[in-house]
Amino acid sequence: METYLGEGLVSASGVKAKYKYHKRIIQPLLDLKFVESCVSHIERHTAICMDKLDAYGDKGLFDIHEGYPNFCHASIEMYNLGFKRLAKPWLHPDCIYNVLPDKIAQENIVSHLNSFIKQVIIKSWKRRKMFKDSEGNFKPIVDKMAGYIEENPNKINGEDFMNHLMTLFTAAFDTLTIVSSFAVLCFGMYPEYQEKAVKEIKEILGETPRPISIGEINKLVYLEMCIKDVLRLFPIAPYILRTTLEDYPLGRDNLQGEIERKTVARAVLKIFLCNLLQRYEIHAEGKVPDIDLRSDISLRPKDGYICKLNARMWNKGP
């Protein structure tokens, strides 16, 4: 992965001495205050997503995971090629890999990723140079990191800045789209649980669909449990080289513990699913055991996230 992401927060994890040092710098930038500042912007982009999904409403089956700009396509292909080389030892030596077509594809991917990140940094520089945020009081993570680096030039250099941004973008995009797509698929296959989630949303937001506030996100306890179960059934990183040191009992209420502290990822997932369930009834064929899975770095269904969206009628009367 270092070929694509450089010495970023994932590829340098546990290997490079600077990993822990940089993590201690970056993690506080994603604090609760930052999460709260993101909510209105997550809502705005979710609304754009819902507008795009309107084109598929009441029109039969489709793959809800499809439809990306070049950067996202490059990210997905990065995982495919990276895992292919990881899983096939004969592709490990550079002397062999460098004469294969995959090497050219790898160079194209790296070029796409680097070009995207450079444009993000340039826009950040222009935005901060003008002394005003184009997004009001919201300060994107790229601006926060860039501001920190300018004030502390000896702690993170420009190359590390690019690598960390590349990691944050690719990891966030892939993780959120996969988890939310699996959640949609599960709700479609198990309508009884979908209706429980909808009932909770109605109780908190009322009978008329509307945006959710920061204070209401934590009230969605059942939706939180559904997200946790999706992560249990389809772990985003299926290969974790760890071993348990002692027995740990998993009771029936394992998923009913306290809601974990707010993170950007949890806010995105809840806001997206809340908006989707307000607007559509989700239908999907089969059950979880019927899904054929494949894996690169992440876990994915072989046949896509095939579902159908029908407009939800909230006020049906008695």
215 HSE (CA, 13 A, CB side)? 2
- Identify the top-confidence range among 135-139, 161-165, 168-172, 254-258: 161-165
**Three-state secondary-structure class, residue 281:** strand
Q: Give backbone dihedrals phi and psi of 95, rounded to 5 degrees, phi first.
A: -65, -25
Which of 103-107, 160-164, 249-253, 304-308 has the weakest average pLDDT? 249-253
Q: Which H, E and C letters describe 205-272, residue by residue? A: HCCCCCCCCHHHHCCCHHHHHHHHHHHHHCCCCCCCCCCCCCCCCCCCCHHHCCCCCCCHHHHHHHHH
Write the CB contacts of 211 (distance below 8 Å, at least 6 apart in sequence).
43, 47, 275
**Three-state secondary-structure class, residue 171:** helix
Average pLDDT in the 174-186 region? 94
pLDDT of 241 > 80? The answer is no
pLDDT of 318 > 70? The answer is no
pLDDT of 133 > 60? The answer is no
What ranges do the domains of the chain cover? Answer: 11-244+255-311
What is the per-residue pLDDT for 72?
80
Average pLDDT in the 48-70 region? 89
Each residue's pLDDT tens digit, 285-300: 999 999 999 887 788 9
What is the per-residue pLDDT for 128?
84
Provide the percentage of residues in the chain whose pLDDT is more than 90: 48
Average pLDDT, the chain: 87
Q: Give backbone dihedrals phi and psi of 310, rounded to 5 degrees, phi first.
A: -115, 140
**Three-state secondary-structure class, residue 2:** helix
The superfamily CATH assigns to domain 11-244+255-311 is Cytochrome P450 (1.10.630.10)
What is the per-residue pLDDT for 118?
92
- Quickly count: other Cβ atoms within 10 Å of residue 294's Cβ: 11
The b/e string for 195-205 (b: 16+ C-beta within 10 A; e otherwise) is eebbebbeebb
**Three-state secondary-structure class, residue 30:** helix
pLDDT of 132 > 80? The answer is no
Q: What angle do CA 155, 157, 160 make, to 5 degrees?
A: 110
Write the CB contacts of 8 (distance below 8 Å, at least 6 apart in sequence).
163, 164, 166, 167
Average pLDDT in the 191-218 region? 91
Measured distance CA(75)–CA(149) in Å, rounded: 26
Pairing status of strand 299-301 against strand 293-295: antiparallel
pLDDT range class, residue 136, cuts 50, 70, 90: low
Provide the percentage of residues in the chain whose pLDDT is more than 70: 91
pTM: 0.86
Average pLDDT in the 83-101 region? 93
Each residue's pLDDT tens digit, 9-47: 777 766 677 888 888 888 888 888 888 889 999 999 999
